[in-house]
Amino acid sequence: MPGVRFYACGRCDAVHALPDRPTACAECGATRLDDVTDRLGEAGYFAPPRPGE
């Protein structure tokens, strides 16, 4: 999807596909959202984060 980036919520792990970084998570309202667009090609992306990450 051209122009769309992916942001993962640091609290509830929801992933939002939006053209711009959202100010808050639409699911839980958290303001910590990580741009994970560059990680989408990695195997196991949707698995839980590794400990310590």
24 is a site residue for Zn ion (CB under 5 A): no
8 is a site residue for Zn ion (CB under 5 A): no
28 is a site residue for Zn ion (CB under 5 A): yes
Between vectors from CA 5 to CA 11 and to CA 3, what angle results, nearest 5°? 160
Q: Which stretch binds Zn ion (CB under 5 A): 4-12, 16-24, 35-43, 45-53?
A: 4-12
Beta 5-9 vs 15-18: how paired, if at all? antiparallel
Question: What's the min distance (Å) between Cβ of 52 and Zn ion?
Answer: 21
Q: Which two tokens stand for residue 3?
A: 């122009």
